[in-house]
């Protein structure tokens, strides 16, 4: 039993594996103010909700150090196990960028997860939709080659609503038509279809520069865009958790 946790800026995703099988999956809000004792309550309740036995191991990927610290301590106190936090060395990747220490742990873990798929060319483009959207280039057997970062779709929508007097917050769902006939549909068109065009353009440029690759999309917005982005070969919401499992098993 492995407890795998991906701590992101907006959401924290928790997965429980029994062997290769992901038997439970939870998503909670990332709260920088939550204390260790509160995380203990959260974890205890989640495990009770699914009637899960205590994990034998725990592995964390994090881009939020304060939450990482509190979550790690909560796991160790609640379950009596050592919680390990992934770093670049633990992934087993050759990080081929100017300063390997700059590479986000979540992006490296995604790279390890991507290597679990078969790519005809031995290359992968990973698109991860979160607070920021990241594009990463990976190559067999274990090379992380770099990538690109842009604003995430929900972050863009929130910023637009916050900085304009008359534009409301909206749900990011595609409207029936690209040409909106009202403000809400015009916003949805720009933010959803426009974002799909951004993604398709970036994937195309990656392939122009690096060659053909298997494109794997992950993160909450991947499902929304999968029918609008023909470049996606795979949509895997659990890619980061699967990467953590591979690292735990020494497959990074």
Exposed, middle or buried, 135 (CB in 10 Å: 0-12/13-18/19+)? Answer: buried
CB 173 within 8 A of CB 189: no
- From the DSSP assignment, how many helices (H) and strands (E) are in the chain? 9, 11
Nearest C-alpha neighbor of 5 from the set 73, 80, 58, 48:
58
By CB neighbour count within 10 A (0-12 exposed, 13-18 middle, 19+ buried), where does 198 fall? middle
Q: How far apart are CA 245 and CA 112, in angstroms?
A: 9
The token duo for 50 is 């699914």
Catalytic member of 6, 31, 98, 106: 106
Q: 106 an active-site residue? A: yes
Catalytic residues: 106
């Amino acid at each position: 039993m492995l407890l795998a946790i991906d701590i992101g800026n907006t959401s924290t995703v928790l997965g429980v594996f029994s062997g290769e099988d992901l038997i439970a999956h939870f998503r909670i809000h990332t709260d920088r103010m939550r204390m260790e004792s509160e995380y203990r309550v959260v974890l205890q309740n989640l495990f009770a909700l699914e009637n899960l036995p205590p994990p034998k191991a725990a592995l964390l990927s994090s881009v939020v150090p304060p939450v990482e610290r509190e979550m790690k301590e909560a796991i160790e106190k609640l379950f009596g196990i050592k919680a390990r936090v992934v770093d670049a060395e633990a992934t087993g990747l050759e990080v081929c960028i100017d300063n390997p220490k700059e590479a986000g742990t979540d992006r490296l873990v995604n790279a390890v997860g991507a290597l679990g798929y078969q790519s005809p060319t031995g290359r992968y483009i990973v698109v991860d939709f979160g607070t920021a959207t990241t594009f990463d280039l990976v190559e067999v057997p274990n090379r992380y080659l770099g990538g690109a970062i842009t604003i995430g779709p929900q972050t863009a929508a929130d910023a637009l609503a916050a900085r304009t007097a008359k534009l409301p917050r909206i749900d990011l769902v595609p409207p029936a038509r690209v040409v909106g006939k009202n403000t809400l549909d015009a916003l949805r068109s720009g933010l959803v279809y426009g974002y799909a065009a951004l993604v398709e353009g970036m994937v195309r440029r990656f392939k122009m520069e690096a060659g053909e690759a298997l494109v794997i999309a992950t993160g909450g917005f991947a499902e929304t865009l999968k029918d609008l982005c023909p470049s996606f070969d795979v949509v895997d919401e659990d890619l980061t958790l699967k990467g953590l499992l591979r690292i735990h098993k020494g497959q990074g």
